[in-house]
Amino acid sequence: MKHLLDSNTLIEAKNRYYGLTICPGYWAWILQQHQALEVASIVPVLDELAKGNDDLTQWVKGNAHLFEDASDERTQAAFGHIVAKIAQQAPLMKAGALEEFLEGADPWLIAKAMTTGAVVVTHEVYNPDIKRKYTIPNVCSLVGVSYMNTFELLGKLDARFVLHH
């Protein structure tokens, strides 16, 4: 896979501009791009989203093949590298920020991207001055992983959602 989706890209799409019943083409496109080996996510993202109780929860459970294993040795080693890098910044961050970041799927998403050369797709925005929490773009920048948002991904892969009469 070349692009790894953060949970917030799926949540935002569902809640706002690409609701599952409003724009089913978007969700079909994600699955099509997965088959083309362009788009995937990881099991920890599936685990986060599966805790919900809505149509997105059902969609991710029904499309579990989209979510790749992140427990392989290379990803675990990359995770260790990420922990070491961000732990150096911990004294500058709000208390508990490191633990909070490490509890979620985000460091695993970045680690998987490090081992596969994938781009992380997230709606989080780079902000070097943020001290209250670690963000995907800030950590990606720290460890040399590329990132983009959903709309950049749609443009890069020439997505087209066309109405047929």
Could you give the CA distance from residue 6 to residue 110 in angstroms, rounded to a whole number?
A: 10
Q: What is the pLDDT of residues 21-35, one digit of tens each?
A: 999 999 999 999 999
Burial label for 13, CB within 10 Å (0-12, 13-18, 19+), is buried
Q: What is the pLDDT of residues 73-110, one digit of tens each?
A: 999 999 999 999 999 988 889 999 999 999 999 999 99
Please say if the pLDDT value at position 111 is more than 80: yes
Angle formed by the axes of helices 106-116 and 73-87, nearest 10°: 120
Q: In this prediction, what percent of the chain has a pLDDT beyond 70?
A: 100
DSSP-assigned letter for residue 118:
P
For residues 28 and 144, is the Cβ–Cβ distance under 8 A? no
pTM (2 d.p.) = 0.94
Mean pLDDT in residue range 138-144 = 96
Q: What is the pLDDT of residue 163?
A: 84
Domain residue spans in the chain?
Answer: 3-156
Q: What is the pLDDT of residue 164?
A: 79
Domain 3-156 grouped into CATH 3.40.1190.20: no
Q: What is the pLDDT of residue 98?
A: 92
Could you give the CA distance from residue 139 to residue 8 in angstroms, rounded to a whole number?
A: 16
For residues 122 and 4, is the Cβ–Cβ distance under 8 A? no
